[in-house]
């Protein structure tokens, strides 16, 4: 699962261990998702000038290279989920040019299937690509930020977790880190919420 913002790449390597090999990620299989690795890396300034399609393609390549020791040689097909629909067809073409064709050569090393998912379903990778960068500013500023996080008391932390859970970009990541599974949005009776109901919750 990959996504790129204007400033950074994000990805999530996951598996569905309780389901048959080759099962795709859907709303019904999402609760079985087990995260193996979170990937997040800031782009160099020159890379931020690339087009959106190029950033998304580079993101896929970087995420696969980061997790190559886990996916290369696997007897199972690696499914790459992206919310950039044009890229799914583009990476399969033989008549591309420029940076994309060079990255295609490197991607050929991997046995992958590209799958389009909506941006809302890709919120986890999207959040990883929009992580706030603690490295900005002077060393004093960085140290102050770290100490501020370490010094927070339990009551403040509880309030901050609530803010993070309700955050549009980081809510999915925080929920997973807190509870060990993704939030599949169910009502009080345990029934899955509709896409419209989930949209209302996320936009509150």
Q: How far is CA 32 from the centre of its chain?
A: 17
* Confidence at residue 190, expressed as pLDDT on a 0 to 100 scale: 56
pLDDT over 70, % of the chain = 64
Report whether 22 contacts 111 (CB < 8 A).
no
Q: What is the pLDDT, as a whole number, of residue 149?
A: 46
Domain covering 2-131: architecture: 2-Layer Sandwich (3.30)
Return the DSSP state at 42.
Answer: E
Work out the pLDDT band at 195, boundaries 50, 70, 90. low
Domain ranges across the chain? 2-131
State whether residue 161 is helix, strand or coil.
helix
The tokens describing 188, both together, are 């009080």
Q: What is the pLDDT of residue 199?
A: 57
Q: What is the DSSP string of 73-108?
A: T-SSPEEEEES-HHHHHHTT-SS--THHHHHHHHHT
- Residue 11 pLDDT class (50, 70, 90 cuts): very high
What residues does 42 pair with on adjacent strands? 8
CB 39 within 8 A of CB 32: no
pLDDT score, position 187: 56
pLDDT band of 120, cuts 50, 70, 90: confident
What pLDDT score does 185 carry? 60
8 Å CB contact between 103 and 61: yes
């Amino acid at each position: 699962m990959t996504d790129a913002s204007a400033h950074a790449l994000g990805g999530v390597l996951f598996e569905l261990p309780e389901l048959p090999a080759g099962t795709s990620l859907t709303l019904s299989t999402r609760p079985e998702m087990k995260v193996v690795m979170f990937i997040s890396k800031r782009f160099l300034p020159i890379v931020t000038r690339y087009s959106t399609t190029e950033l998304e393609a580079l993101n896929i390549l970087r995420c696969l290279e980061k997790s190559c020791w886990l996916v290369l040689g696997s007897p199972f097909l690696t499914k790459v989920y992206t919310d950039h629909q044009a890229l799914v067809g583009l990476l399969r073409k033989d008549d591309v040019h420029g940076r994309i064709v060079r990255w295609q050569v490197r991607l050929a090393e991997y046995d992958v299937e590209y799958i389009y998912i909506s941006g809302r379903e890709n919120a986890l990778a999207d959040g990883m690509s929009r992580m706030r960068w603690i490295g900005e500013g002077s060393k004093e500023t960085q140290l102050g930020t770290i100490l501020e996080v370490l010094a927070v008391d339990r009551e403040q932390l509880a309030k901050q977790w609530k803010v993070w859970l309700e955050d549009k970009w980081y809510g999915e990541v925080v929920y997973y880190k807190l509870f060990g599974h993704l939030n599949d949005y169910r009502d009080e009776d345990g029934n899955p919420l509709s896409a419209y109901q989930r949209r209302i919750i996320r936009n509150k």
